[in-house]
Amino acid sequence: MTDALPARRLGPTEFVVDCDVLVRRNLRAIRRVPQMLVAVVVQPLMFVLLFSYVFGEALGGDTYRQFLIGGIMTQTVAFNAAFSALGIATDMDHGIVDRFRALPMSRLSFIASRTISDIAINVISLLVMTLAGYMIGWRIVGDAGGVMAGYAIALFFGFALSWVGAVIGIVSASMQAAQSLVLTVLFPLTFISSAFIPSSRLPTALQIVANWNPVTSVARTLREAFGNPTSVSAFIAEPVTWAGQHPAVYSFLACVVISAAAAPLSVAALKSSTR
């Protein structure tokens, strides 16, 4: 008889190792599925061109394009939370999560690896949109430090929403249900904001939501970091709120709150899931 192997301890080092293995697994799956690569690369490019030329001329031409890119970037990193939702839902449908449950690994590492994978996806998306923006005449006129800080806030926001996507993927009954639910959450979140038009042009009730929507503050953070206009016209004044006056701080705090709430909720949902 051979001696039994000692039980694997679950400490910080093991957590990092598990996350590393699973992140590489997730990114390898994206590389091998052409349709997912299209979503990562082509979708951001499509949004930039669509909003710039279909709506741009009607809403201010070049000024609107300078205003738009920060909002498009914010919308894209928000929508990329769907990768976590669909990835987890797919793993649960295919029984892969049951195998992970039988292994000596932290449940958090399975979920965290998905949200970390989304950071890499968002980096690619932001790079594509930056290049596309330069193609249509958009320019960065801010200093390098501010620009990098703006990109960091956008990536942190996408990371925070990936935890929300993870919760949706776990609680959904199927991959199709996860896709419908994540879009139901993300569409109003991104469009009831000043990502595409100044919030002051919205009805009063929606203005209140938009002014405190983190999508609005992240988009404004990017515009200020890039040196872009924060409104499409000098005659359209944005409502004065604390979030509007301190968009970077508000965005950071919102990301911390979203992550702190969604991360433990996702682990609890996975523990109680019967799928």
By the 10 Å C-beta count (0-12 exposed, 13-18 middle, 19+ buried), 269 is classed as middle
Return the half-sphere exposure (C-beta side, CA atoms, 13 A cut-off) of residue 196.
Answer: 18
By the 10 Å C-beta count (0-12 exposed, 13-18 middle, 19+ buried), 110 is classed as buried
User: Are the C-beta atoms of 212 and 243 separated by less than 8 Å?
Assistant: yes
Return the half-sphere exposure (C-beta side, CA atoms, 13 A cut-off) of residue 237.
Answer: 4
Label residue 54 by pLDDT band (50, 70, 90). confident
| Res. 35: pLDDT tops 80 | no
What's the mean pLDDT in 58-79? Answer: 86
User: Are the C-beta atoms of 235 and 215 separated by less than 8 Å?
Assistant: no
| Res. 49: pLDDT tops 80 | yes
pLDDT confidence of residue 234: 59
What's the mean pLDDT in 90-95? Answer: 86
Give the SS3 label for residue 143.
Answer: coil
Angle at 213 between CA 134 and CA 137, to 5 degrees: 10
Phi, psi of 149 (to 5 degrees): -65, -40
Return the half-sphere exposure (C-beta side, CA atoms, 13 A cut-off) of residue 261.
Answer: 9
pTM: 0.90
What's the mean pLDDT in 84-111? Answer: 85
Average pLDDT of the chain, as a whole number: 87
By the 10 Å C-beta count (0-12 exposed, 13-18 middle, 19+ buried), 223 is classed as buried
Domain map (residue ranges) of the chain:
12-273
pLDDT confidence of residue 1: 40
pLDDT tens digit sequence for 1-30:
445 445 566 678 888 888 999 999 988 887
Helices (H) and strands (E) in the chain, counts: 13, 0
pLDDT confidence of residue 48: 84
User: Token digits for 39?
Assistant: 């979503």
| pLDDT, greater one: 5 or 100 | 100
Kindly state the percentage of the chain with pLDDT values over 90: 51
pLDDT tens digit sequence for 162-191:
999 999 999 998 888 998 999 999 999 999
pLDDT confidence of residue 165: 95
